Amino acid sequence: MSSLPFAADNSPAPQGAGLPTPAFSPLYQQIKGLILQSLQQGEWKPGESIPSEMELAARFRVSQGTVRKAIDELAAENLVVRRQGKGTFVATHAEQHIQYRFLKLLPDTGDASVEGPAQRSVIDCRRVRASADISRVLALRSGDPVMQAKRILSFAGVPTILEDIWLPGHAFKGLTGEQMANYQGPTYAMFEMDFGVRMVRAEEKIRAVLPDAEQAQLLQVTTATPLLSVERIAYTYNDVPMELRRGLYRTDTHHYRNELS
């Protein structure tokens, strides 16, 4: 059973005279933190159910309402998924409505489900030493091992996305190009299944660029063709960076779509 760094619902912790008052953290936020801790430690794997609200309330010695509020926030952040009549499950990128949450490039006509998954061509996948730039982004030391992969994603036979991907070597030891190319589902689902790493959020920087000669050849465009440059940092639990991805996107038949709320 997890230790409780807080008082139970109806038992406020005593304050010592003269001691500074600690920053207040709502009880449900503390429960959310403990559930996140269990997720990070792999107590419940992606796709598996977590204990019921009643069981979690007993475990943490709080009310079901407090647990429900914590789970509501986790669900809103796409960390868990509620299923009517079945319970609450750890979210996975294999889920239909979640699997392409980080891919915002959509066809100009139809939708992604009609277009189908991208065809992958892995140009290179190898273990290298992290440069100062890569190590800074991934919170590593310069020279630490990283897995570096370059691949092309094509739709209907047309090369559309050129990606360079860097992953911490300690977490993705043994990753191969064949593994990346042959996995039938989303790449992030493969990271979950084969390496136990779940990407829970991402940050992106987007700008318009022109390709160099090699990039233009790989994407079958001219060097005068404007492309969308997307740099993404993906994080696992507790904001630990686990992937740097730099992509060049053709937008002659696709567009980048984002929903703001």
What 3-state class would DSSP assign to 87?
strand
Residues 180 and 208 both lie in one domain? yes
Total tally of structural domains belonging to the chain: 2
pTM of the model: 0.75
Residues 79 and 174 both lie in one domain? no
In a domain, 43, yes or no: yes
Would you state the pLDDT for residue 4?
A: 53
In a domain, 134, yes or no: yes
pLDDT tens-place string over residues 87-137: 999 887 765 544 445 667 778 876 665 666 788 999 999 999 999 999 999
What 3-state class would DSSP assign to 167?
strand
Residues 31 and 71 both lie in one domain? yes
Residue numbers of the domain that contains 251 = 105-256
Would you state the pLDDT for residue 135?
A: 96
CA distance 32 to 41: 14
Residues 75 and 183 both lie in one domain? no
Q: Write a three-state SS string for 64-81.
A: HHHHHHHHHHHHHCCCEE
The CATH number of the domain holding residue 48 is: 1.10.10.10
**Positive/negative CA dihedral, 177, 163, 39, 142:** positive
Structural tokens at position 72? 């509501």
In a domain, 61, yes or no: yes
CA distance 226 to 161: 13
Would you state the pLDDT for residue 112?
A: 61
For the chain, which residues score pLDDT lower than 50? 1-3, 5-17, 19-21, 97-100
197 touches 236 (CB < 8 A): yes
CA atoms within 13 A on the CB side of 107: 14
